[in-house]
Amino acid sequence: MKIVGITSCTVGIAHTYMAREKLISTGKKLGFDVEIETQGSGGVEYNLNESDISNADVVLIASDVVVSGKERFIGKPIVEVPVSAAIKTPESLLLKIEKTLKEKKGE
């Protein structure tokens, strides 16, 4: 499963980056390809590129604020959660996304 996503939070100096790290390290553990863009106090970093987005099975937005550039994901399934969910329970979050995608494809 390939996931692209965005993390963002109110101040943009801690949660945004911790959520990214958790999603990527958990993705590695589960064998998922995870690319995460951060929209934090330092601006947009780790920008998603077009091929990452077009190859993605799903888009994950873990944020407590409005993120920019969502139009890039038109046509893709989008999952939106609070940023804390990505820090607190990244494994169950990613597994749940996988399960939901499989069920959708099976329909």
Partner 1 sequence: MNILEMIKPSQIDLEMKAGTKDEVIHHLTHMLYENDKISSEKKFYDNVFYRESVGETGMGNYIAIPHGESDAVKEVSVAIGRVIEPVEWESLDDLPVRLIFMLAVPIENKNNVHIKMLSQLASILTYEDIQNELMNSVSKEDFINCFFKHFNQYASENNN
CA distance 80 to 60: 6
- 9 part of the active site: yes
Burial, 107: exposed, middle or buried (Cβ in 10 Å; 0-12, 13-18, 19+)?
exposed
Q: Does 33 participate in binding partner 1 (rule CB under 8 A)?
A: no
Q: Which stretch binds partner 1 (CB under 8 A): 6-14, 27-35, 52-60, 73-81?
A: 6-14
Q: Annotated catalytic residue: which of 9, 19, 87, 93?
A: 9
CA distance 81 to 84: 8
**Residues at the site binding partner 1, with contacts judged by CB under 8 A:** 10-11, 13-18, 20-22, 25, 38, 40-43, 45-46, 64, 84, 87-88
